[in-house]
Copies of this chain bind each other. A is one copy, B any other.
Amino acid sequence: MKTVGSEIVWQGRSWRFRVDELEADSGERISKGFIEHPGAVVLVPLREGADGPEIVMLRQYRLALDETILELPAGTRGWEEDWLDCAQRELREETGFRAASLRFLAQFWPSPGVSNELMRLYLATELQPDPLPGDVDEEIELQPLPLADLLMMAQDGRLQDAKSIIGILQTAVFLNTP
């Protein structure tokens, strides 16, 4: 396939939508749509709870699904924003906490077929209240849950958000590693 055309069809606040025109060796043409994305951070805010380690999860309304889902705090990076600055900002906006320690755990592509978004996952610990105002379009409620429960939910299918499944499993692996 060779690319014979490329156009930005929509430019949003944080990412843009591009359509490419492709031509096969046979001469057949298809058009393919992509999201051009600056990347996003995913946070695992970890603290000691009454029943052992717990994670500050969110319940967030998602317009694309028209559903409120359980997920880890996360957010889109500014095109030029430093990854750690972005992680701290999103943590403060979405949970109201600042982390004295942010440790990189893993990175992954959530949808490489349609987007170049790269997600970088950080373990956030030593949390202290230090909120920032959130985005106007976000409807978020905090829901701290024990890591042990979340691990079960990631494995039995009750947790259905991909970044959160990966975040919980990677955290469990990390905490068992000396």
Copy tally for this chain in the complex stands at: 2
A143 contacts the other chain (Cβ, under 8 Å)? Answer: no
A93 contacts the other chain (Cβ, under 8 Å)? Answer: no
Against B, the Cβ 8 Å flags (1 = close, 0 = not) of A3-37 are 00000011011010101101010101011111100
Q: Are A64 and B115 in contact (CB under 8 A)?
A: yes
A161 contacts the other chain (Cβ, under 8 Å)? Answer: yes
A residues contacting the other copy or chain, number (CB 8 A): 54
Q: Are A113 and B64 in contact (CB under 8 A)?
A: yes
A148 contacts the other chain (Cβ, under 8 Å)? Answer: no
Q: Are B160 and A109 in contact (CB under 8 A)?
A: yes
Question: In the complex, which residues 77-132 of chain A have their Cβ closer than 8 Å to any Cβ of chain B?
Answer: 106-117, 119
Residues of B within 8 A of A106 (CB): 157
Given the interface pairs A24-B137, A64-B34, the reply to whether A71 lies near B17 with Cβ below 8 Å is: no
Among B32, B65, B107, contact of A157 (Cβ-Cβ < 8 Å): B107
Rounded to whole Å, the gap between the CB of A150 and the closest CB of chain B is 14
